[in-house]
Amino acid sequence: MDALTPLTYKTLLSKVTETTGRPMHDPATGDLIGHAPVRSISDVDNAVRRARAAQPGWAARSDDERVQTLLHAADAVEASTEALAELLCREQGKPLNGPNARFEVGACAAWLRATAGTPLPGGTVFEDDEIHAELHYRPVGVVGAIGPWNWPMMITTWQVAPSLRMGNTVVVKPSEYTPLSVLALGEVLNSALPDDVLTVVPGEGDLGAHLTTHPDVDKLMFTGSTGTGKAIARDSASTLKRLTLELGGNDAGIVLPDVDPSKIAEGLFWGAFINTGQTCAALKRLYVHTDVYDQVCAALVEFARQMPMGPGLDEQNVLGPLQNKAQYDIVAGLVDAAIASGAKVLLGGDPANDGGGLFYPTTLVADIDNDNPLVAQEQFGPALPIVRYSDLDEAVAMANGLDVGLGASVWSADPAAARSVAARLEAGTVWINSHGGVHPMIPFGGIKGSGYGLEFGSEGLKSVSVPQVING
C-alpha cells in the first residue's frame, strides 16, 4: 500500500486478523473484535533469520536515508491516525479522547520524528600531537523488542524508532493482550520501510522467551514486570545480549505543606489516573503533609468526580476499563483489603459491573498505613492511596522504602525546596509539580527493581548501538 493512503478501521482490521487464532475482546463491552494470529517458535526463527539478512543492507544506507525513512513512517502513522486509534481503543480499552488513544497514536508519530531529528552521538574524544581518538556508535545488529499491553503502540515505537535509526533491524513480540494494536502499527510502519527491517510476531509468552535466548538476537528491549525482567536478565546471559529493561514501578509523590491544593489537584489526578492508572510511571502512592492533607484530599475528590469513565468510543469519556480481568482482580482485591483494614474510601471503591465491561471506578483511599498492600504493591489501576505524614524525613524514607525506582514527584510552591527533596529520592526520574510526563529528548529509565538502561534522545540511540573507538 501507499504509505500516505489513509486506512479505514475495517481495512486495517482485515489486515491484522485471521479467521482463527486468539479471540480478542473489547474490555469495555466484551464484544469480539477479531482473532489475532498466534505464531510459533519457527516463525520467530524465520523472522530473526530474515532480519539478520536484511540488517547489513539497512545499515549500509546513509544516516540521512534512514532519517528520511523514519519521517516517511511518521507521515504514514498520521495518515491512518483514526483507524489506528479506533483499533487501540477497542482492544486496549483506552478512550479516543483525553491522554489516551489519539494521544498515543500522535505520540508514535512524534517519537518517530524526534528520533529522526536527534543528533547522532559520538565524535572526537581526545586529540594531541600524536593521537586522534574518535568514538563512534555502530549498529548492534538484530534487536528483539518485547512490549506491554498498557501503551502497546507508543512503547513499541520507543523501541523500534531508535533501533532503526542506528541501522538495526527489529523483531517485535507484542503482549498477548494487545497484539492487534501492534500488528496494525507494524502494518502502517512497514508501508514506509524496506522488507524484513521490521517484523511483528504475535503469540504466547514462549515466543518472547525464545527471543531472549536466540543466538542471533544481539539486543533485547523489554517493558514489563520486574519478575519477567529478572528472568530475561538471567536467560540472556549465555549470549551476552545487551539489555534495556524498563520494569515495574510504584511511583511515590510527596506533597509539601506550602502547596495550594486547588492548583495541584489536576496534575495529581492525571499523574495517577492517566490510562486509568495503567502506566508504569504513574503516581501510585501519594504522601501528603498533615497541614494540607484534608484540603488535598478534598480537591482531588472534587476534580476526580468530573472525569467521565465509560466505553472509549463515546467521545465524552476520558477514563476507560481495565484492559484485562486479571488486572481488574488485582485492583479490586487491593482496594477490598484496604477497606477491610479500616482505610477510608473518599471516592469509588464499589464497582457496579452491570455494563459487561471491566470498569473499576476512580478510587481515592485516605487514612491508610504505609505498609498496607494498596501502598506497598503496584496496583496498576484507578486506585490511589493517600498517606498522611508530618515529618519530611519520614516521607522520604517511606518513598524510598520499596525496591523500585522508576519515577517519583515532589509538589511544592517553592522550586528550590522541591529540588532539594527530589535529590533525596531514589528514582530514575523525579518530576516537580507534575508526574509521569516524558519527552523524546529527555532520557528515561529506572533504577533498583525498576530496571536499567536509558531510552530517548542521544542516550536512547547509544543504547541500541555498540561503541567503537578509532584511535590513531
How high is the pLDDT of residue 167? 98
In tens, the pLDDT along 421-458 reads 999 999 999 999 999 999 999 999 999 999 999 999 99
Catalytic residue among 78, 104, 176, 246: 246
How high is the pLDDT of residue 351? 87
Report residue 356's pLDDT band, with 50, 70 and 90 as the boundaries: confident
In tens, the pLDDT along 318-340 reads 999 999 999 999 999 999 999 99
How high is the pLDDT of residue 400? 98
Report residue 354's pLDDT band, with 50, 70 and 90 as the boundaries: low
Who has greater pLDDT, 2 or 350? 350
Helix (H, G, I), strand (E, B) or coil at 378: coil
Residue 405 has pLDDT above 80, yes or no: yes
- Cβ distance 358 to 326 under 8 Å? no
Weakest mean pLDDT among 107-111, 353-357, 417-421: 353-357
Q: Does 89 qualify as catalytic in the annotation?
A: no
Which of 312, 152, 324 has the alpha carbon at shortest distance from 223? 152
How high is the pLDDT of residue 4? 82
Domain ranges of the chain: 9-247+447-471, 251-432
How high is the pLDDT of residue 153? 98
Measured CA to CA, the distance from residue 25 to residue 92 in angstroms comes to: 9
Percent of the chain past pLDDT 70, that is, above it, reads 99
Grid look-up 532520557 returns 443
How high is the pLDDT of residue 290? 98
Q: Does 315 qualify as catalytic in the annotation?
A: no
Measured CA to CA, the distance from residue 59 to residue 230 in angstroms comes to: 31
Instruction: Classify domain 251-432 by CATH architecture.
Output: 3-Layer(aba) Sandwich (3.40)
CATH class of 9-247+447-471: alpha beta
CA atoms 405, 274, 327, 297: torsion sign: positive
Residue 6 has pLDDT above 80, yes or no: yes
Residue 210 has pLDDT above 90, yes or no: yes
Percent of the chain past pLDDT 90, that is, above it, reads 97
Residue 305 has pLDDT above 90, yes or no: yes
Output the nine-digit C-alpha cell for 192: 514506509
Q: Give Cα 378 distance to the centre of its chain.
A: 15
Residue 353 has pLDDT above 80, yes or no: no
Helix (H, G, I), strand (E, B) or coil at 311: coil
How high is the pLDDT of residue 1? 63
Residue 2 has pLDDT above 80, yes or no: no
Q: For the residues 391-411, what does the mean pLDDT come to?
A: 98
In tens, the pLDDT along 253-286 reads 999 999 999 999 999 999 999 999 999 999 999 9
Mean pLDDT rounded to a whole number for the chain: 97
Helix (H, G, I), strand (E, B) or coil at 284: strand
In tens, the pLDDT along 122-163 reads 999 999 999 999 999 999 999 999 999 999 999 999 999 999
Measured CA to CA, the distance from residue 116 to residue 63 in angstroms comes to: 9
Output the nine-digit C-alpha cell for 469: 573507538
How high is the pLDDT of residue 96? 98
Residue 462 has pLDDT above 90, yes or no: yes
- Cβ distance 232 to 245 under 8 Å? yes
Catalytic residue among 89, 108, 187, 280: 280
